[in-house]
Amino acid sequence: MYDSAKYLIHADIRASGVVERSDVVGAIFGQTEGLLGEDLDLRDLQESSKVGRIDVEIDAEGGRSFGTVTIASGLDKVETAVLAAGLETIDRVGPCQAEFEVTELEDAREAKRREVVERATELLVDFEDSSLSSDELIEAVRQNVRVADVTEYEGLPAGPRVVDSDAIIVVEGRADVLTLLQYGIKNAVAVEGTDVPAAVAELTHDRTVTAFLDGDRGGDLILKELAQVGAVDYVAFAPEDRSVEDLSRRDVLSALRKKVPYDQLAETPAPHEQVTDTPSEQPPATEADTQQAVQTGDEAGPPESSVTGTDGGAEAEQTDATAEPDQRCRGSTEVATAETAATAAEDASATTTPETGEPAAESGADTAPENGGGGDTTEQPDSATAVSDTADDGEAAAPSDDSPADTDETASQTVAGHVDAVIGAETGQARLLDEALSSLADVPAEEVFDAIETADTVPTTVVVDGMLTQRVLDVAAQRGVGQIIARAEGEFVKQPTNVRVRTAGGA
């Protein structure tokens, strides 16, 4: 009846003696019979299902009884109120005096509405908690794919690229493999304990092997056994007393970037202490470090996106999940080798004349080489002092106090002359030079960015009497400027490899 009832009558009952539920129901039917007329006779209403069953809950304590009565009604509101008022006329239950008091007439539909609202609220909260944003959804899919990528090599947890990769990373356990997979490194295999399996030992003989272990005594023991039964090329450790599985992406890349050749640790009793250090102990990044990170080809990313070894090579262990780690290492090594050759060529040019290749005179040369054909700006000396003071490097020396003064036009046809005229004279200007070292334009130093960006003829050299900023360096790289000589350098986030940067603060 509760399902189809419109209203619920709630009443309290108190009796002076001990009574039972059947006594209460009998009193309700007996004492209301004929009281409200035939249309509201309780028995007839119940038989016609206009009134539901009478629910009674009664308890006895101290020789008295008390409880509640609930009656479901399908009558209209007025008829239900009349029926409820009739209950209060009951004054006896069994042999005991009793008192009925109607406490509430409840709209059953309103009660259902409250239940609907409460339940809908719960469902909505659960729905919102379980729903994912677009980013969370994408990350969840990536995570599932990476976890699904865990394979087995001879019964050991491994990434999907272990078998066909020329370089592998040996870690301690399955959790370490999962961690590296999350960061896109798919060529890891776990040894699962200090007893290195023969399968892993065999796997290391024809591949470049990096052992990436926990920063504790256990990592040292695994490294020792791995080196005895297999081959290890490089060694990397998690920070002191930390596990690989607990590292963030940045920590993983930082640890791999500090890997060292195993030969350097072969006789070390505690290798992890030699390789790892705390963040506060690490020296600040130098300009050379930044330049080396840029040489990996990932100019848009931070320096930690590359993993470099102490042998001068660079191995991007994770930046490209589809590229072979050893291929990335070889590519970066070629860049470093090319730079070394270029540096050697510059050093050689400092002791020979640029046109004949013959050794230059050891004492001050009186005659400068012809510049009308355009100077090769990549053969300039590396130091600022050399730019302005040295005459042996293929550029004409700036006039000294002991030599006859050259004309401004002659001086301006050399890099040293332009540096002396702009920076040495503290003009606060910037000068744009073409391939023949002729001046294209002189502008205030603070306007050099706009001058480079809008120049009709792209300058090959820019001399700036001021601070060289990242913004100016970027536009120079975009336009194809060969070199920039400034009074001082600012702090660079990245330094393009196609622009040579020199300072001449002492000019």
CATH topology for 382-389+408-503 is: Cytidine Deaminase; domain 2 (3.40.140)
What 3-state class would DSSP assign to 353?
Answer: coil
Q: Which residues are paired to 424 by β-bridges?
A: none
Q: What is the average pLDDT across 177-183?
A: 88
Calpha distance 405→351 (Å, rounded): 26
CATH topology for 143-278+292-331 is: Dna Topoisomerase Vi A Subunit; Chain: A, domain 2 (3.40.1360)
User: Side-chain half-sphere of 468: how many Cα atoms within 13 Å?
Assistant: 25
Using CB atoms within 10 A of its CB, is residue 388 exposed (0-12), middle (13-18) or buried (19+)?
Answer: buried
If you compute the radius of gyration of the chain from its CA atoms, what whole number of angstroms results? 45
How confident is the model at residue 1, as a pLDDT? 52
Q: What is the average pLDDT across 270-274?
A: 81
User: Which two tokens mark 392?
Assistant: 């042996």
356, pLDDT greater than 70: no
DSSP secondary structure, 452-503, as one string? HHH-SS--SEEEEEEEEPHHHHHHHHHHT--EEEEEEE---S---TTSEEEE
Burial 404-438 (b: 16+ CB within 10 A, else e): eebeeeebbbbbbbbbbbbbbeebebbbbbebebe
How confident is the model at residue 4, as a pLDDT? 66
442, pLDDT greater than 90: yes
Report CA-CA distances (Å) from 437 to 283, 460, 462.
40, 8, 10
Q: What is the pTM for the complete model shown?
A: 0.33
User: Which two tokens mark 148?
Assistant: 């699904």
Q: What is the average pLDDT across 221-240?
A: 88
Calpha distance 471→455 (Å, rounded): 16
User: Where do the CATH 3.40.140.20 domains begin and end in the chain?
Assistant: 382-389+408-503
How confident is the model at residue 217, as a pLDDT? 87
- Following CA atoms 46, 52, 54, 57 in sequence, which dihedral angle do they give, to the nearest 10 degrees? 170
DSSP state of 291: H
User: Which two tokens mark 482?
Assistant: 């060969």
215, pLDDT greater than 70: yes
User: Which two tokens mark 96?
Assistant: 């005991």
**Residue 171: pLDDT band with limits 50, 70, 90:** very high
Q: Which residue in the block uniquely carries the two structure tokens 């744009």?
A: 432
Residues of the chain above pLDDT 70, percent: 69
CA proximity to 400, closest of 435, 424, 375, 431: 424
Query: Greater confidence, 471 or 288?
Result: 471
User: Where do the CATH 3.30.70.2690 domains begin and end in the chain?
Assistant: 7-112
Using CB atoms within 10 A of its CB, is residue 214 exposed (0-12), middle (13-18) or buried (19+)?
Answer: buried
Q: What is the average pLDDT across 246-253?
A: 91
What 3-state class would DSSP assign to 434?
Answer: coil
User: Where do the CATH 3.40.1360.10 domains begin and end in the chain?
Assistant: 143-278+292-331
pLDDT tens digits for range 86-103: 999 999 998 899 999 999
Most confident of the ranges 42-51, 203-212, 291-300, 496-505: 42-51
CATH of span 7-112: 3.30.70.2690
Calpha distance 90→101 (Å, rounded): 10
Using CB atoms within 10 A of its CB, is residue 304 exposed (0-12), middle (13-18) or buried (19+)?
Answer: middle
